[in-house]
């Protein structure tokens, strides 16, 4: 299996439901807590597995606002794993999820330097690196209904912009979406072969407009002939 996410940039409104839902689930999750430093003070900083970058493309008035959720891409060529001196970082054979063993991590930061996506965050309280687990503590939990065995960010997304599935299965929802909507990886040229894919915005074609009726372009009420309409 090759588990990962598809994120639909056509409908992502940048609302942060996914990032906070992730925080909520994972602070009590497999690598929790997601410590918050100075939570009520200047410049609060906590550990987040998923962040949204907001930026604009193009100049006014033809600019476009883009919301870009980013979390661990669970890369095929995950250099973050290779650089780990303790073996804490690993990519699971059975499903491709990249994880960090909290009891082996010494917080050296090599992995975060190796990650081009900024997906890894050091918990300065525990001294360990933390990142998206694809909610490994949900997706295999048989006490949950099958529909709930998905990452928290996917379940909560109000605009259905996030999809979870197996990219090894060509008929899975994620494979189908990537095929149908021209899904792409982020910065594939770097060679990490990220598992997560992004769907580009749909392009709206110009649409027809109503035509003026013959003899119309009426400029005065007097020219109208009443239509007979029974009330």
Partner 1 sequence: MSTVPKFEDPDKQSVKYSTCYMCACRCGIKVTVEDKKIRYIEGNRDHPVNKGVLCAKGNAGIMKQNSPAKLTTPLLRKKGSKRGDGEYEAISMGQALDILTARLRNIRETDPKKLAYFTGRDQMQALTGLWASQFGTINWASHGGFCSVNMAAAGLYTTGFSFWEFGDPDWDLTKYFMMWGVADDHASNPIKIGLEKLKSRGAKFVSINPTRTGYQAIADEWIGITPGTDMQFALSMVHVLLKHEQFDWEFLIRYTNSAYLTVNTPGQKGDGLFLRDDDGNPLVWDMEQEKAVNGKLPDINPALFYEGEANGKPVRSAMVIFADTYLDDKYSPENSAEITGIPADTIERLALEMAHVAFKETIEIEQEWTDYAGRKHDKFIGRPVSMHAMRGVSAHSNGFQACRAIHFVQILLGSVDCPGGHLAKPPFPKPIPPPLKPCKTTKPNTPLTSPPLGFPTCPEDLVIDDDGKPLRIDKAFSWDAPLSNHGLMHMVITNAYNGDPYPIDTLMMFMANMSWNSTMNTSQVRKMLSARDEETGEHKIPFIVVSDAYHSEITNFADLIIPDTTYLERYDTISMLDRPISEPHMAGDAIRQPILETNRDVMSWQEVQIEVGSRLGFPVFTNKDGSRKYKGYEDFVTNWQAAPGIGLLAGWRLDEDGNETHLRGKPNPKQWERYKENGAFMQVPFTPERRYYRHANKDYLEWAKGNGWIGSSDQIVMELYSETLQKFNLAGQGLYDGPMPTEQHHKDRLTKYFTPLPEFYTPLEQTRIDEEEYPFHAINQRPMFMYHSWDSQNAWLRQIISQNFMYINREQAESMGIEDKSWVWVESHNGKIRVQVKHMEGCVKNTVWTWNAIAKQSGAWGLKKGSNEAKDAFLMNHLISELLPKKGDALDNVTNSDPITGQAAWYDLRVKIYPVENGETGAYPQFPDMKKMPGMEESPDILRYNAHEHPVRIHRSMDDVLKRGSVHDKKK
Residues 151-210 that bind partner 1 (CB under 8 A): 152, 155-161, 201-202, 204, 207-210
Are residues 16 and 52 in contact, defined by beta-carbon separation less than 8 angstroms? yes
Q: Residue with structure tokens 């299965």?
A: 169
Which residues in the 130-149 window bind partner 1 by CB under 8 A? Answer: 133, 136-137, 140-141, 143, 147
**135/175 with CB nearer partner 1:** 135
Cα gap 197→50, rounded to integer Å: 15
Could you tell me which of 51, 30, 59 has the C-alpha nearest to residue 128?
30
- CA 151 vs. chain centroid, Å, equals 11
Q: How many residues bind partner 1 (CB under 8 A)?
A: 104
Pick the binder of partner 1 from 13, 109, 173, 182 (CB under 8 A). Answer: 13
**137/168 with CB nearer partner 1:** 137
Q: Collect all residues with Cβ–Cβ distance below 8 Å to 166 and sequence separation of at least 6.
A: 1, 2, 3, 172, 174, 175
Select from 129-137, 163-171, 182-190 the region that touches partner 1 (CB under 8 A): 129-137
2 binds partner 1 (CB under 8 A): no
Smallest distance from partner 1 to CB 223, Å: 10
67 binds partner 1 (CB under 8 A): yes
Pick the binder of partner 1 from 72, 73, 99, 174 (CB under 8 A). Answer: 99
Q: Which residues pair with 165 in a beta bridge?
A: 4
CB neighbour class for 190 (10 Å; exposed up to 12, middle 13-18, buried from 19):
middle
Which residues in the 24-53 window bind partner 1 by CB under 8 A? Answer: 24-25, 27-46, 48
Smallest distance from partner 1 to CB 159, Å: 4
């Amino acid at each position: 299996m090759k588990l990962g996410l598809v994120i639909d940039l056509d409908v992502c409104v940048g609302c942060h439901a996914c990032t906070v839902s992730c925080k909520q689930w994972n602070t009590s999750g497999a690598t929790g807590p997601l410590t918050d430093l100075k939570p009520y003070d200047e410049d609060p900083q906590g550990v987040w597995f998923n962040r949204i970058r907001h930026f604009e493309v193009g100049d006014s008035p033809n600019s476009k606002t883009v919301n870009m959720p980013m979390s661990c891409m669970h890369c095929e060529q995950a250099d973050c794993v290779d650089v780990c001196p303790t073996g804490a970082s690993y990519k699971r054979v059975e499903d491709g999820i990249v994880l960090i063993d909290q009891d082996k991590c010494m917080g050296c930061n090599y992995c975060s330097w190796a990650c081009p996506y900024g997906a890894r965050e050091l918990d300065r309280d525990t001294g360990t690196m933390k990142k998206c687990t694809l909610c490994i503590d949900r997706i295999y939990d048989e006490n949950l209904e099958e529909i709930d065995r998905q990452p928290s960010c996917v379940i909560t997304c109000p605009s259905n912009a996030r999809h979870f599935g197996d990219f090894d299965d060509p008929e899975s929802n994620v494979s189908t979406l990537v095929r149908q909507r021209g899904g792409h990886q982020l910065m594939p040229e770097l060679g990490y072969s990220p598992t997560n894919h992004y769907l580009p915005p749909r392009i709206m074609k110009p649409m027809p407009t109503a035509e003026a009726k013959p003899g119309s372009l009426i400029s005065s009420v007097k020219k109208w002939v009443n239509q007979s309409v029974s009330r």
